[in-house]
């Protein structure tokens, strides 16, 4: 039995019958600058102030270290945390996909996440 094929090539002069962007046609702002592009956001828009901060070490690195604990458990420790450490912990847990806790002025993440934590801190601070 021969299969029927649906013709997907529209006629050259036929209008589109189902345009998913048709509802958006009247929603473009009229105050766009010349060239039709939007202005770039400033650095202040990108980093709207964090409730936490991490002090760098004397050598300029991040105070991130790794420990092996009882039962062969790996822990990444971020020291010198000031401000809202719980907010930083929440962001790091999402970024690393790991559990963790706040201890005094440090944060402990389950597993070896030194590179990810340092990359996260580099991306969130522009000093």
Q: How far is CA 16 from the centre of its chain?
A: 38
The pLDDT tens digits of the residues spanning 79-121 come to: 999 999 999 999 999 999 999 999 988 999 999 999 999 999 9
Which pLDDT value is given to residue 62? 94
- Say if 11 falls within a structural domain: no
- Is pLDDT above 50 for 6? yes
Per-residue pLDDT at 43 exceeds 50: no
Number of domains in the chain: 1
Q: Whose CA is closest to 125, among 59, 50, 39, 73?
A: 50
Range of the domain at 120: 60-124
Where in 79-116 does DSSP place strands (E)? Answer: 81-83, 100-103, 106-110
Residues 43 and 126 sit within 8 Å (Cβ to Cβ): yes
Residue 50 has pLDDT above 90, yes or no: no
CATH number at 114 reads: 3.30.780.10
In a domain, 111, yes or no: yes
Report if residue 15 sits inside a domain: no
At 17 the pLDDT is 64
Does 19 map to a domain?
A: no
Report yes or no on 95 lying in a domain. yes
77: burial class by Cβ within 10 Å (0-12, 13-18, 19+)?
middle
């Amino acid at each position: 039995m021969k299969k029927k094929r649906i013709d997907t090539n529209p006629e050259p002069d036929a209008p589109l019958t189902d345009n998913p962007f048709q509802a958006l046609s009247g929603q473009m702002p009229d105050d766009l600058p010349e060239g039709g592009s939007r202005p770039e956001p400033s650095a202040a828009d990108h980093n709207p102030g964090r409730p936490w901060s991490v002090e760098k070490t004397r050598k300029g690195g991040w105070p991130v270290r790794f420990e092996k604990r009882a039962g062969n458990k790996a822990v990444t420790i971020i020291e010198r945390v000031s401000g809202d450490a719980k907010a930083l912990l929440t962001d790091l847990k999402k970024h690393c996909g790991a559990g963790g806790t706040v201890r005094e002025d440090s944060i402990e993440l389950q597993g070896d996440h030194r590179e990810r934590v340092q990359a996260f801190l580099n991306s969130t601070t522009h000093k």
